[in-house]
């Protein structure tokens, strides 16, 4: 990644630094890709380039700490059922795709009223010869036609959670099928996918992406690319040594996975699902296996992350961390999602300094008294994504999208956090911005070099069309994204 070597002064800006020692400024001086100074009327040499922002707001570039990086780009290239509002509409879209493109490696379908995926019989009505593989919107279950089921025979024959009659895959079967179809991507398509994600990120003011990558070969390919957006690479693997071999400092994400999701009823709960008596979800890994993974990662000095959504899944992650002595615990342990928590778990998370990678847009889509969380959890919907309680406890909350599940869009995440459907869990505007700037950097161990507009830090900024305070957040638009002092995105150009 190249940076601007020139000295640049960003002038006439409403600067929100996210640095509590000097929260606001009017000017920012940049040189060699780093912030030199901030203030109101800075003295600069005559050869300094001046960029007049005409009163627009200047913020640290946003960060998204949990993105399935290459899958996000693959979704843009493959079948996307996210806009289908009925099964009939979905099947029509699938039929057109098969006619034009052949095989379906599909993403994003949300069954109406949180119901079931299409059956194998329905998908066979589109084609019984061309494979059709379609992931539910949460990525934790999928459906296949007979052709896809046939080519998956050797992949899923020894695993549970396959409904052969209806063509539904859950748990390990879904994971293995997902891995199989992703492995069919060519390197050329993966490079295209990576560049698509970089362009998306910059267009929404995101200067840094926590890139979750489920394959060592994919990671090697990604590390070789010169992308215009910063990435914090995190290898998803049950063998932490593979991350160390690549020189990475982060490991984990959605592998290891303690549990699944609410939508697929695979998140592990202390109490049964309200709409499926007797079901409490299912652990996706043995506790002993998770403990061993944590031991290995800690011994290598890696920053860890474990997927856990339900209170039962979170309990597994906490047990793996707290069984280790303080000095042996993994650096900057993180839990991804942590959507349903008890008071005791919040206290333990705070005590151990565990950060959480959260997705506020999940509440916008599925939270509240009449949506998916309430259907699956009953009154427990009031205890999902307890941002206010977590902040009171002193927990670091790092904002993310979980893209490809929801789009990379930090402004949308900020709006969702301050408009949480449970008023008791809403946060302030500044707290929401923290989640996608300085707190996100802190959760990645990078707050000494980024996340706020402070002298000595990276000159990564986002410029919005108007002042964020006193405005309807829906009207805010990213106009410019700056990385290392260089303008890398400008709206309309």
451 in any annotated domain: no
Q: At a CB cut-off of 8 Å and minimum separation 6, what does 158 contact?
A: none
- Please tell me the predicted confidence (pLDDT) of residue 15: 96
144 shares its domain with 200: no
Rounded to an integer, the average pLDDT of 319-326 is 92
- Please tell me the predicted confidence (pLDDT) of residue 492: 81
369 shares its domain with 256: yes
191 shares its domain with 175: no
Show which of 138, 163, 182 is a domain's final residue: 182
272 shares its domain with 349: yes
Rounded to an integer, the average pLDDT of 13-25 is 93
Rounded to an integer, the average pLDDT of 431-441 is 98
pLDDT in tens, 244-293: 999 999 999 999 999 999 999 999 999 999 999 999 999 999 999 999 99
| Predicted confidence band of residue 331 (pLDDT cuts 50, 70, 90) | confident
171 in any annotated domain: yes
176: domain CATH number is 3.10.310.70
pLDDT in tens, 391-405: 999 999 999 999 999
pLDDT in tens, 202-251: 999 999 999 999 999 999 999 999 999 999 999 999 999 999 999 999 99
Domain around 145: 79-182
* Domains: count for the chain: 3
Is the per-residue pLDDT at 2 higher than 70? no
428: domain CATH number is 3.20.20.140
254 shares its domain with 148: no
- Please tell me the predicted confidence (pLDDT) of residue 267: 98
414 shares its domain with 269: yes
Residue 322 class from Cβ within 10 Å (0-12 exposed, 13-18 middle, 19+ buried)?
middle
Is the per-residue pLDDT at 352 higher than 90? yes
176 shares its domain with 109: yes
Mean pLDDT of the chain: 95
pLDDT in tens, 140-165: 999 999 999 999 999 998 888 999 99
197 shares its domain with 213: yes
Task: Centre a 10 Å sphere on the Cβ of residue 361 and count the other Cβ atoms it contains.
Answer: 24
Is the per-residue pLDDT at 471 higher than 70? no
Rounded to an integer, the average pLDDT of 342-350 is 98
38 shares its domain with 91: no
Rounded to an integer, the average pLDDT of 15-37 is 95
User: What percent of the chain has a predicted confidence (pLDDT) above 90?
Assistant: 91
Is the per-residue pLDDT at 311 higher than 70? yes
168 shares its domain with 192: no
Rounded to an integer, the average pLDDT of 102-111 is 96
Cα dihedral angle (209, 210, 215, 221), rounded to 10 degrees? 40
293 in any annotated domain: yes
278 in any annotated domain: yes
User: What percent of the chain has a predicted confidence (pLDDT) above 70?
Assistant: 99
- Please tell me the predicted confidence (pLDDT) of residue 4: 61
- Please tell me the predicted confidence (pLDDT) of residue 323: 93
68 in any annotated domain: no
- Please tell me the predicted confidence (pLDDT) of residue 467: 72
| Predicted confidence band of residue 469 (pLDDT cuts 50, 70, 90) | confident
| Predicted confidence band of residue 1 (pLDDT cuts 50, 70, 90) | low
242 in any annotated domain: yes
| Predicted confidence band of residue 327 (pLDDT cuts 50, 70, 90) | confident
- Please tell me the predicted confidence (pLDDT) of residue 3: 58
| Predicted confidence band of residue 5 (pLDDT cuts 50, 70, 90) | confident
Is the per-residue pLDDT at 444 higher than 80? yes
Is the per-residue pLDDT at 63 higher than 70? yes
């Amino acid at each position: 990644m190249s940076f601007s070597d020139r000295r640049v002064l960003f002038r006439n800006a409403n600067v929100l630094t996210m640095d509590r020692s000097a929260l606001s400024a009017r000017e920012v001086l940049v040189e060699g890709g780093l912030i030199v100074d901030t203030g109101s009327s800075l003295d600069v040499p005559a050869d300094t380039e001046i960029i007049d922002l005409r009163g627009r707001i200047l913020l640290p570039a946003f960060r998204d700490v949990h993105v399935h990086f290459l899958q996000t780009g693959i979704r843009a290239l493959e079948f996307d059922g996210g806009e289908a509002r009925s099964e009939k509409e979905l099947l029509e879209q699938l039929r057109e795709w098969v006619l034009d493109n052949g095989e379906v490696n599909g993403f994003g379908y949300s069954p109406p009223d949180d119901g079931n995926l299409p059956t194998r019989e329905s998908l066979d009505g589109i084609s019984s010869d061309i494979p059709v593989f379609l992931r539910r919107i949460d990525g934790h279950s999928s459906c296949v036609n007979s052709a896809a089921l046939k080519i998956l025979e050797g992949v899923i024959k020894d695993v549970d959670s396959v409904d052969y009659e209806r063509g539904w895959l859950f748990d390990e079967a879904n994971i293995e099928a997902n891995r199989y179809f992703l492995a069919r991507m060519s390197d050329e398509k993966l490079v295209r996918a990576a560049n698509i994600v970089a362009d998306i990120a910059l267009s929404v003011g995101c200067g840094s992406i926590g890139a979750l990558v489920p394959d060592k070969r994919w990671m090697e390919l990604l590390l070789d690319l010169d992308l215009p957006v910063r990435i914090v690479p995190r290898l998803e693997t049950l063998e932490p040594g593979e991350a160390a071999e690549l020189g990475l400092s982060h490991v984990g994400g959605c592998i290891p996975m303690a549990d699944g999701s609410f939508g697929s009823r695979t998140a592990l709960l202390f109490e049964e699902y309200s709409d499926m008596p007797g079901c409490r979800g299912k652990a996706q890994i043995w506790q002993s296996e998770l403990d061993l993974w944590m031991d290995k990662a800690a011994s290598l000095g890696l920053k860890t992350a474990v997927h856990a959504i339900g209170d039962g899944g979170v309990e597994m992650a906490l047990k793996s961390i707290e069984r280790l002595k303080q000095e042996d615990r993994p650096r900057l342990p993180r839990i991804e999602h942590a959507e349903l928590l008890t008071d005791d778990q919040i206290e333990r998370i705070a005590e151990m300094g565990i950060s959480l990678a959260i997705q506020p847009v999940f509440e916008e889509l599925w939270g509240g008294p009449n949506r998916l969380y309430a259907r699956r959890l009953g009154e427990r919907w009031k205890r999902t994504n307890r941002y206010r309680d977590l902040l009171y406890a002193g927990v670091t909350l790092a904002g993310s999208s979980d893209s490809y599940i929801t789009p990379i869009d930090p402004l949308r995440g900020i709006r969702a956090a301050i408009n949480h459907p449970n008023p008791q869990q809403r946060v302030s505007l500044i707290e929401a911005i923290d989640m996608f700037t300085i707190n996100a950097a802190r959760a990645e161990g990078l707050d000494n070099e980024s996340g706020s507009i402070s002298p000595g830090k990276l000159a990564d900024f986002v410029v919005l069309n108007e002042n964020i305070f006193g405005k309807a957040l829906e009207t805010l638009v990213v106009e410019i994204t700056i990385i290392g002092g260089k303008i890398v995105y400008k709206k309309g150009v």
